[in-house]
């Protein structure tokens, strides 16, 4: 009787598959893909962009097409969300107001981020009297509240439009980004690769662009994203006070101010633009928080 063949194990474990390495941005994207907060924010922002770029998809009216005979018309029928006190379509005011609000928010945030990053990394990288001078200038602007500074500047501005308002918000809104960029640069500039680049006599501009900026970009993205929401709220606040965008440019802040006059009679006139403003600001702030969590989280990779 023959004995059964028994396979003898060599005692060796199968070779483990090499893990795919990801950059910090790759790891952040892997976390963002499974973040409900990220996707909810993206969907809301995407809808707002479609609303701002193609308002005719949501309403056949324009903000300047008003009929006093339709004053405070109820929602439904010709007016999806109703009409305001002047007989203007509320949906048209929201759709066309989204274009102005998003333009001011994005342009102001990008401009303030660019100014703040330049000042912050230059101050931290060169140090000495350059850091002292730029830090004192930053402290002066940081002491001026954004809304207060914008109110004073808009009062003396002759031509008020989206671009002048954006320029004023950039002028007063770069300080927070500068402080974060300076702090991150102070940490990065002590790394060995920065010292090696200096020993090789690499030009300072190249060091700033290729070594420092890519390594501080993560917190800058977070600040810029959250800043869009804050600047949109600033624009609405100024327009609510009638010193922001002119009357011929639709604004959520102006719509809220007009709706406040008939709040008890027809609350929807104020509540709809207020809801649009709230969701927009909340979406950008939530997107920034999701990005912050993605870059800041540390998971066990073992």
In the predicted model, is pLDDT for residue 244 greater than 70? yes
Name the residue with higher pLDDT: 287 or 84: 287
Q: Which residues contact 41 (CB under 8 A, 6 or more apart)?
A: 283, 284, 286, 287, 290
Assess contact for 116 and 177: CB atoms under 8 A: yes
- Provide the pLDDT confidence category of residue 71 given band limits of 50, 70 and 90: confident
What are 202-234's pLDDT values in tens digits? Answer: 888 888 888 888 888 888 999 999 999 999 999
Q: Comparing 50-59, 80-89, 163-172, 280-289, which segment has the lowest mean pLDDT? A: 80-89
In the predicted model, is pLDDT for residue 156 greater than 90? no
pLDDT at 194: 82
What are 82-104's pLDDT values in tens digits? Answer: 788 787 888 888 999 899 999 99
In the predicted model, is pLDDT for residue 299 greater than 50? no
In the predicted model, is pLDDT for residue 68 greater than 80? no
User: 87: alpha, beta or left, given left = phi > 0 and alpha = psi -120 to 50?
Assistant: left
Residues 73, 84: Cα–Cα separation, whole Å: 7
Q: Which residues contact 54 (CB under 8 A, 6 or more apart)?
A: none
Residues 243, 191: Cα–Cα separation, whole Å: 48
- Provide the pLDDT confidence category of residue 297 given band limits of 50, 70 and 90: low
pLDDT at 1: 45
pLDDT at 69: 72
Q: What percent of the chain has pLDDT over 70?
A: 90
pLDDT at 12: 55
pLDDT at 18: 46
CB contact burial 39-78 (16+ within 10 A = b; e otherwise) = eebbebbeebeebbeebeebbebbbeebeeebeebeeeee
Q: What is the pTM of this model?
A: 0.83
pLDDT at 39: 93
Residue-range domains of the chain with CATH: 24-59+86-296 (1.10.3720.10)
In the predicted model, is pLDDT for residue 240 greater than 60? yes
Mean predicted confidence (pLDDT) in 138-152: 90
Name the residue with higher pLDDT: 74 or 230: 230
- Provide the pLDDT confidence category of residue 298 given band limits of 50, 70 and 90: very low
Q: Which residues contact 269 (CB under 8 A, 6 or more apart)?
A: 72, 82, 84, 85, 90, 255, 258, 259, 262, 263
Quick one: tokens of 287? 């997107």
Tell me, letter by letter, the H, E, C secondary structure of the chain. Answer: CCCCCCCCCCCCCCCCCCCCCCCHHHHHHHHHCCCHHHHHHHHHHHHHHHHHHCHHHCCCCCCCCECHHHCCCCCECCECCCECCCCEEHHHHHHHHHHHHHHHHHHHHHHHHHHHHHHHHHHHHHCHHHHHHHHHHHHHHHCCCHHHHHHHHHHCCCCCCHHHHHHHHHHHCCHHHHHHHHHHHHHHCCCHHHHHHHHCCCCHHHHHHHHHHHHHHHHHHHHHHHHHHHHHHHHHHHHHCCCCCCCCCCCHHHHHHHHHCCCCCCCHHHHHHHHHHHHHHHHHHHHHHHHHHHHHCCCCCC
Residues 28, 32: Cα–Cα separation, whole Å: 6
What is the chain's mean pLDDT, rounded? 84
In the predicted model, is pLDDT for residue 34 greater than 80? yes
């Amino acid at each position: 009787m023959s004995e059964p063949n028994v396979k003898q194990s060599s005692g060796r474990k199968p070779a483990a598959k090499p893990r795919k390495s990801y950059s910090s941005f790759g790891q952040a994207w892997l976390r963002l893909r499974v973040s409900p907060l990220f996707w909810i924010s993206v969907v809301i922002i995407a809808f707002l962009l479609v609303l701002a770029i193609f308002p005719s998809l949501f309403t056949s009216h324009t903000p300047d097409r008003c009929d006093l005979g339709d004053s405070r018309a109820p929602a439904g029928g010709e007016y999806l969300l109703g009409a305001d006190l002047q007989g203007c379509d509320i949906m048209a005011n929201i759709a066309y107001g989204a274009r102005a609000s998003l333009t001011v928010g994005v342009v102001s945030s990008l401009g303030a981020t660019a100014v703040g990053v330049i000042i912050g990394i230059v101050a931290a990288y060169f140090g000495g009297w350059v850091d002292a001078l730029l830090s004192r200038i930053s402290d002066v602007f940081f002491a001026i509240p954004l809304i207060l500074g914008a109110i004073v500047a808009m009062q003396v501005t002759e031509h008020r439009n989206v671009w002048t308002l954006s320029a004023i918000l950039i002028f007063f809104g770069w300080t927070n980004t500068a402080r974060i960029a300076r702090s991150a640069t102070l940490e990065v500039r002590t790394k060995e690769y920065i010292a090696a680049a200096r020993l090789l006599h690499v030009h300072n501009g190249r060091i700033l662009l290729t070594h420092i900026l890519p390594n501080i970009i993560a917190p800058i993205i977070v600040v810029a994203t959250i800043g869009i929401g804050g600047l949109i709220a600033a624009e609405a606040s100024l327009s609510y006070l009638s010193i922001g965008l002119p009357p011929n440019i639709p604004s959520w802040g102006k719509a809220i101010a007009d709706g406040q006059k008939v709040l008890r009679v027809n609350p929807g006139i104020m509540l709809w633009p207020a809801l649009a403003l709230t969701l927009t600001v909340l979406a950008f702030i939530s997107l920034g928080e999701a990005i912050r969590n993605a870059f800041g989280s540390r998971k066990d990779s073992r």
